């Protein structure tokens, strides 16, 4: 499995120096991709998988005969907005009113929200967030693959890249969302809460991320997969990619047929969702 970093975020998987001539970069990328397949054959593994490569890398893997898979995630794009109201002005009137109603409900609940980063994040914050994280995975029958120590290490070694949204009620933390900041993108990763407040998930995970991206000049917020509900809040579908080498030819043929059908379904769904974008139609 070629999947570093361990998170569903698109990025380079063939690490070739960018200061080399384009033709040399292509040759080296091709050699690295071919070496993966050669190593897989030599080791006798059943399969090789590259998840979330760039589109260019995905094309290279396809040229080598790897099976190509298409997925989708929901991302928000900063169109040089000055503030959240600038973003709302791009939406249709009905969607704009709906989002304002959702955000107003948070104030009515008596909740306060802070975005913390770097040294502003204490071990106490991580204690609470770990409970929120465990609560979410328990509710969804998920696996708690991150332990408490992980979050301390994250804050210690990557604190300036962490954007931790903490929600409080009467001074007591009740919910939180973990984001990681890249060069031009804010990546939403985990969230959890220990109380039920209407619209809190949308505010904590989507609207606070948009506020942060605008304030800090970031171009994208990646909210991950799952959720046509994200479309109505300005997060539109974008394709993601993976490539797969399958040793057994019979199994490969079956998977290849499935991927062809799946790709058509995903393309249709993305077109369907894009047509229901909350943004105003441009002439």
In order along its 283 residues, the chain shows pLDDT tens digits of: 998 878 899 999 999 999 999 999 999 999 999 999 999 999 999 999 999 999 999 999 999 999 999 999 999 999 999 999 999 999 999 999 999 999 999 989 999 999 999 999 999 999 999 999 998 887 766 778 899 999 999 999 999 999 999 999 999 999 999 999 999 999 999 999 988 899 999 999 999 999 999 999 999 999 876 777 899 999 999 999 999 999 999 999 999 999 999 999 999 999 999 888 999 986 5
**What pLDDT is attached to residue 283?**
52
Statement to judge: residues 84 and 213 lie in one domain: yes
Domain that holds residue 174: 79-218
Q: What is the largest CA-CA distance in the chain?
A: 63
Statement to judge: residues 93 and 182 lie in one domain: yes
Examine residue 152 and state whether it is found in any structural domain, yes or no.
yes
Examine residue 228 and state whether it is found in any structural domain, yes or no.
no
Statement to judge: residues 166 and 103 lie in one domain: yes
Statement to judge: residues 210 and 251 lie in one domain: no
Statement to judge: residues 42 and 121 lie in one domain: no
**What pLDDT is attached to residue 136?**
85
Examine residue 157 and state whether it is found in any structural domain, yes or no.
yes
What gap in Å lies between CA 188 and CA 156, rounded to an integer? 19
Examine residue 199 and state whether it is found in any structural domain, yes or no.
yes
**What pLDDT is attached to residue 281?**
80
Strand-pairing partners, residue 25, are none
Statement to judge: residues 60 and 148 lie in one domain: no
Specify the DSSP class assigned to residue 231: G
Statement to judge: residues 165 and 132 lie in one domain: yes
Statement to judge: residues 37 and 130 lie in one domain: no
**What pLDDT is attached to residue 3?**
84
For position 247, which CATH number holds?
A: 3.30.1370
Statement to judge: residues 181 and 128 lie in one domain: yes
Checking 179-184 for CB contacts under 8 A at 24+ apart, the result is 179/209, 179/212, 180/7, 181/117, 181/216, 181/218, 182/9, 184/218, 184/219, 184/220
What gap in Å lies between CA 79 and CA 183, rounded to an integer? 16
Examine residue 16 and state whether it is found in any structural domain, yes or no.
no
Distances (CA, A) of 252 to 50, 246, 259: 16, 5, 10
Examine residue 3 and state whether it is found in any structural domain, yes or no.
no
Q: Which two tokens stand for residue 73?
A: 């995630």
Other CB atoms closer than 10 Å to residue 91's CB: what's the count?
19
Report the number of distinct structural domains present in the chain.
Answer: 2
Examine residue 257 and state whether it is found in any structural domain, yes or no.
yes
Statement to judge: residues 95 and 175 lie in one domain: yes
**pTM passes above 0.85:** yes
Examine residue 12 and state whether it is found in any structural domain, yes or no.
no
Statement to judge: residues 64 and 94 lie in one domain: no
Statement to judge: residues 125 and 154 lie in one domain: yes
What gap in Å lies between CA 278 and CA 233, rounded to an integer? 7
């Amino acid at each position: 499995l070629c999947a570093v970093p361990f998170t569903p975020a698109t990025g380079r998987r063939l690490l070739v120096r960018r200061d080399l001539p384009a033709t040399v970069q292509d040759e080296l990328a091709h050699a690295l991709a071919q070496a993966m397949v050669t190593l897989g054959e030599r080791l006798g593994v059943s399969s090789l998988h590259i998840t979330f490569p760039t589109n260019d890398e995905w094309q290279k893997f396809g040229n080598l005969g790897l099976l190509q898979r298409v997925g989708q995630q929901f991302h928000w794009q900063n169109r040089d907005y000055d503030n959240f109201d600038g973003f709302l002005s791009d939406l249709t009137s009905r969607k704009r009113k709906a989002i304002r109603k959702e955000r107003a409900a948070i104030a009515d609940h008596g909740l306060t929200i802070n975005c913390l980063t770097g040294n502003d994040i204490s071990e106490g914050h991580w204690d609470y967030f770990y409970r929120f994280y465990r609560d979410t995975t328990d509710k969804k029958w998920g696996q708690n693959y991150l332990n408490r120590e992980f979050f301390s290490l994250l804050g210690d070694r990557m604190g300036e890249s962490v954007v931790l949204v903490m929600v409080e009620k009467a001074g007591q933390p009740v919910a939180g969302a973990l984001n990681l900041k890249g060069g031009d993108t804010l990546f939403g990763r985990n969230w959890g809460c220990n109380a039920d407040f209407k619209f809190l998930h949308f505010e904590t995970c989507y609207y606070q991320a948009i506020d942060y991206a605008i304030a800090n000049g970031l171009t994208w917020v990646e909210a991950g997969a799952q959720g046509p509900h994200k479309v109505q809040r300005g997060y539109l579908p974008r394709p993601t990619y993976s490539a797969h080498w399958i040793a057994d030819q019979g199994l490969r043929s079956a998977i290849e047929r499935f991927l062809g059908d799946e790709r058509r379904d995903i393309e249709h769904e993305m077109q369907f969702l894009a047509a229901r974008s909350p943004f105003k139609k441009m002439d």
